[in-house]
Structure 1
């Protein structure tokens, strides 16, 4: 798999409406659903089951479940080294569990889904940069 494959596949999801816990291209997705859909398209079956989660799951449990799962499935890299096709995790509040993810689509750009927005490509502005908790690559990248 190449980085361009990841970005091209993520771009196919642009415009998919936001829907909490969903992962259906063109129908509805959240940020994790987008990542899961790209994984399915390029890697096959999802490697871990995704339990039901409420919008405030991270605040209620205080567990860093998203970060833990990413470390089991993806290859952790230094956040400053993230390139096209890599995955970024974000902490919405300092010290809180990571609860948002995005795919780097170009230098300074990410593709993600968040409350009230369809899947979109946005600039990785300082507001998002300050919230990066970790970065990961898909396993088996060729480039």
Structure 2
């Protein structure tokens, strides 16, 4: 298959990061090895995607292919910076803790939506809270979701 030249803007970063704990996913049905319809992910009643507000231009996604005698695997990393050091921010981040594992839905500036992780291969999260003393506005928490899967991130189709 040929890789076609992209003629538009090639913006980096992400517009949105959304998460759901893996245990809240009722069914996960990709339509192929590379795609999943939006209706292919069903949640238990009362659950669904939760958004994470991050400072603009701090969100990013990286997928690294790894090869071994057993075949391909993929390491994923999604990062973002949640601004603020207020009680409300801390309470919101308390739900994201290391004992749970997550699936992510990311939206690129070009509108492409991808699902990172699966219920059987979810991502873990690490929080790095920091209040810089010399640079105003840098107080907040850096989030890193990471994990390894046997497939690439799935593109969400209508």
Bigger share in helix: 1
Same fold, TM exceeding 0.5? no
TM-score, structure 1 normalization? 0.30
TM-score by length of 2: 0.28
